[in-house]
Every structure is written in structure tokens, then in C-alpha cells.
Amino acid sequence: MRYLWAAGSWGTVLLLALLLVSTSGCKGPRLLSTDEEIRLGQQAGDEFEQEHGRDRDQRRNAIAARIGSRIAQAARPPDYPYDFRVLADDEVNAVAFPGGRIYFFRGLFETLGYDEDQLAWVAGHEAAHVARKHAVRRIERSLGYELLIQLVFGQDTGGQIAGLVAGLMLQDYGRDNELEADRLGLEFTKAAGYDPTAALAVLDKFAQIQGKDPNRLELLFMTHPGNTTRSDAVKSHLRQRGWSGKYYRP
Ligand SMILES: [Zn+2]
């Protein structure tokens, strides 16, 4: 706040008073608390899960649980209750809801050859969207606090708000957030004890699918930014950190 003051001038006193009032009244949009954010993600996730169905395959669920618990340890702080689940959906995709609910789509496992380093980087990328609050900030911007709080308190009986939230979660976050999630995903992957260079194998596979059959790769890792930009950014981060592995040696 700027101080405007001239002794003895009532006009200025009035102006100062007005400034104080307008400054204190201008707080910006109300944001969800962390507890509200977590509850929102769980409500919207439950609805999303009902639509797609849970995958009951033991092997895939065991992999998701194993990777999930290691990435959850690495993804702190902040301390979200990360919860990784598998959907019975053959799309090649993954999606993160606010507060730590993260879904692998079944199709991702086949495409990545059940390679746990590669799956771990995808998990790390999604966890980064949660940790950096990309997910919750976008839905707050799009839908506003008043609407979301209805979902938080279970007043969304028809599931319409949950549907809107899920729709937003399935879009990409734009270039800067995606690159940040790629980078932070590398950090989480490495800290969780996986090979972070596997990120390059994932990006290669997505580029191949995109070239052959653009419709199959639903929304994960598409459009912004391009795969080449992302691979280059990943390589440069690996070089900076001095990390090498199966898919890259600087
Ligand atoms: Zn992303």
C-alpha cells in the first residue's frame, strides 16, 4: 500500500481512509483450504471412477500401489494423502485430482510394457500437478469457490459439479505447468529410487503413438508442449543433475 499524507489536509486524510478501505476489501477470489481441496478431489474422483470403472487386475493394482507409495513419500512436501488407482479404460492416459487422488488408465501399462521406471515417471508427473496445486488452481479459476464448496460438502447430488471438475482435469495444463510437472516428476522419480531417464522412453513411445494413431493417445502429454521440446527439457534437466541411466548417458 502506498502512503499519501500531507499534514493538515483533510482531503488527504479522507483519501488515505478510502485507500485503507479499498485495500482491505480487495483480497482476490477465495481459495479452498487444503482439507477442502482433498475432499473435493475425493468427491470428484469417486464420481469419475464410477463412470470409468475400477480395473480389478491384480498385477496392475499391485504395481500401482507399489509405485504409488514410493512416489507419495518422495512427493512431499506438502503432505497430501496420495492415492493411486487403476481405471478399467484402455486409453493411454493418467489423471490427477486435487489433493492426491491419481488414476492410471489401464492402457498405459500395456503401452509402457509394464516397465515400473516408466510408470513411476508418469506417476511423478501427475503427483507434481498435485504438489504444485496446478489441479486445484485451475478448477478454482474456472468454477469458483461457491460452486466447488457444494461438492466438498456433498451437495452435488446429481454429480454435475463433479463432472465439470473431471472434464477440467482431463485437459492439459498448458506449456509451463506441463514442463514444470515433467521436471518435478524427474525429481520425485529419482527420490523414489527409480531411473529418471525412463522419462525419455515414455516420451518416445507417446511420440510414436501420436505419429501413427493420434486418436488413441487421448490427452496425456499431448499438444502443449511438443514431445521434442519436452524430451530436450528432460535431457537438459538430467544433465544438470548429473543423472544417467538406462535411457540416457550425458
Ligand atoms: Zn501433465
pLDDT tens for each residue of 126-146: 999 999 999 899 999 999 999
- Give 197 Cα–ligand 1 centroid separation in angstroms: 17
- Give 17 Cα–ligand 1 centroid separation in angstroms: 46
When pLDDT is averaged across residues 167-179 and rounded to a whole number, the result is 85
Is 3 contained in some domain?
no
- Asked whether the predicted pLDDT for residue 231 surpasses 80, the reply is yes
- Give 167 Cα–ligand 1 centroid separation in angstroms: 14
Q: What pLDDT is recorded for position 8?
A: 43
* Range scoring the smallest mean pLDDT among 1-10, 85-94, 110-119, 175-184: 1-10
- Give 202 Cα–ligand 1 centroid separation in angstroms: 13
Is 136 contained in some domain?
yes
- Asked whether the predicted pLDDT for residue 52 surpasses 90, the reply is yes
Please answer whether residues 123 and 102 qualify as being in contact, where contact means their C-beta atoms are separated by less than 8 angstroms: yes
Is 224 contained in some domain?
yes
- Give 221 Cα–ligand 1 centroid separation in angstroms: 6
Is 9 contained in some domain?
no
Neighbours of ion ligand 1 (CB under 5 A): 178, 181
Q: What pLDDT is recorded for position 27?
A: 62
Give the range of the structural domain holding residue 51, as residue numbers without chain letter.
34-241
Q: What percent of the chain has pLDDT over 70?
A: 83
When pLDDT is averaged across residues 231-239 and rounded to a whole number, the result is 96
Is 69 contained in some domain?
yes
Is 27 contained in some domain?
no
Q: What percent of the chain has pLDDT over 90?
A: 60
Is 23 contained in some domain?
no
- Model confidence at 30, pLDDT cuts 50, 70, 90, reads confident
Domains in the chain, number: 1
* Range scoring the smallest mean pLDDT among 141-155, 156-170, 188-202, 223-237: 223-237
- Asked whether the predicted pLDDT for residue 228 surpasses 70, the reply is yes
- Give 237 Cα–ligand 1 centroid separation in angstroms: 17
- Give 206 Cα–ligand 1 centroid separation in angstroms: 13
Is 12 contained in some domain?
no
- Give 219 Cα–ligand 1 centroid separation in angstroms: 9
When pLDDT is averaged across residues 190-216 and rounded to a whole number, the result is 86
- Asked whether the predicted pLDDT for residue 210 surpasses 90, the reply is no
When pLDDT is averaged across residues 104-121 and rounded to a whole number, the result is 97
